[in-house]
Amino acid sequence: MSREAHVRFRESAAVKSRRATRPPAESFFKTLKNELWGHQAFRTREIARMAIFVYIGVFYNRERLHSGLGYLTPIEFEQLAVRRAA
């Protein structure tokens, strides 16, 4: 690939959109690592998978305060949005 073609590729919309989605994912995995992996070692991959499933499905999505939601849990944020819409 020529230098000019490479520059055009890097500046394309597809590459820009992929780059724009990376920081939220990186932030999530940093949070996962700090809040889950930093506190325990897993004996097997299956135990690790189950711990990650519970962390995401129960704690992260239902109980954890999210700064992007005004430090509310996702459930509280959703309930507030429903009340405001009514």
For 20-79, the pLDDT digits (tens) are: 567 778 888 888 888 887 778 889 999 999 999 999 998 888 888 888 889 999 889 999
Total-model pTM:
0.57
Residue 5 CA to residue 23 CA, distance in Å, equals 26
Domain assignment of residue 49, yes or no: yes
Residue 64 CA to residue 75 CA, distance in Å, equals 10
Looking at per-residue pLDDT, the higher value among 37 and 83 belongs to: 83
- Give residue 86's pLDDT: 86
- Give residue 13's pLDDT: 56
Domain assignment of residue 78, yes or no: yes
CA angle 48, 60, 19 (to 5 degrees): 90
Domain assignment of residue 20, yes or no: no
Domain assignment of residue 40, yes or no: yes
Domain assignment of residue 80, yes or no: yes
- Give me the domain span that covers residue 48: 25-85
C-beta of residue 46 within 8 angstroms of C-beta of residue 54: no
The DSSP call for residue 67 is G
Tally of domains in the chain: 1
Domain assignment of residue 2, yes or no: no
Domain assignment of residue 45, yes or no: yes
Residue 66 CA to residue 72 CA, distance in Å, equals 6
